[in-house]
Homo-oligomer: A and B are copies of this chain.
């Protein structure tokens, strides 16, 4: 018998920049010229069927014009396309066009595109660099910090994937102008969630500026993009592997994800989240972590953002309760809910645990009451 020791201790630097601005296509090219992706000359631009014509075509043209070898890889738009099949399709198309290890992926789109393209990049040739060019508020709020990439499978959401950090993220506010109003509101839900988690000041800013944001006022939009990054970064930095603190980002997501599924994705992610946040506000009220007034402030801001704050009639409430309490996370008949304390703070229940267990009967009362 013998033991052989493989020593693999090393310093890894995955740091990157998020650039927030207006029309950043030329900046992307300048950055590439200045070595953002090293010596790489081949760029796979991954996008969806909607963003293609809006922005990806333009970026492709600029890459080609700058002398780079670049191709477009387009998949059908929509949350339902975030699958292993789409990943395979992109991989095969890249391989067929001769892409190997010496390429860089540029994801142009919203969260579905950046999640999927980041995952493709992580396993293509055992890992090639990638850049996110985020074109939605939701991607700005959710997908630019944290390195989470994944696809969905019939049995689980976001469970097949990787932690993978981009070379750089661009948040191009100008692209929000072409976002359908519903999508913009959907992104605002994550923004409001971030404020509820971490900053009363940011919450008040939103109350005051929600109309500016809806009108894509550059200053207001840049401010919220920046705050979104800041809150998420604070949380993620302290807990890169989602062991404890990161759980607070799930505020509103317990009911939110369930309702999103039960609606068969008729509700957008942010819309489902908004309803989930109302459920969790009601829970926080009940548990005494939030006053009735604070709860109403949250609900009122969600309404201002044109988000739903009640469970739609077409949702079977019992199916929703069942969905929640057959989840793998249910332990001893209890499901854990992240609960906020007032606005801008989170209850820490015990060291490293930010969620409280809730019985099915309690959850049922709240849900039937919405």
Contact = CB atoms under 8 A, between A and B. Distances in A.
Interface of A: 1-22, 84, 88, 91-92, 95-96, 98, 100, 119, 122-127, 145, 147-150, 153-156, 159-163, 165, 222, 226, 229-230, 233, 237, 240, 328
Given A154-B92, A328-B98, A7 B2 contact: no
Contacts of A159: 95, 100, 124-126
A14 B9 contact: yes
Interface of A, helix, strand, loop or mixed by DSSP? mixed
Nearest to A328: B100
A12 B8 CA distance: 8
A237 B9 CA distance: 10
Contacts of A229: 4, 6
Contacts of A14: 8-10
Contact of A162 (B12, B84, B122): B122
A4 B230 contact: yes
A92 B153 contact: yes
B9 A10 contact: no
A19 B1 contact: yes
A16 B8 contact: yes
A40 B119 CA distance: 26
A20 B4 contact: yes
B230 A95 contact: no
B7 A160 contact: no
Nearest to A96: B155
Given A2-B21, A92-B153, 13 more contacts: A1-B19, A2-B20, A6-B15, A8-B147, A8-B165, A10-B11, A10-B240, A84-B84, A91-B153, A123-B123, A125-B159, A126-B150, A126-B163
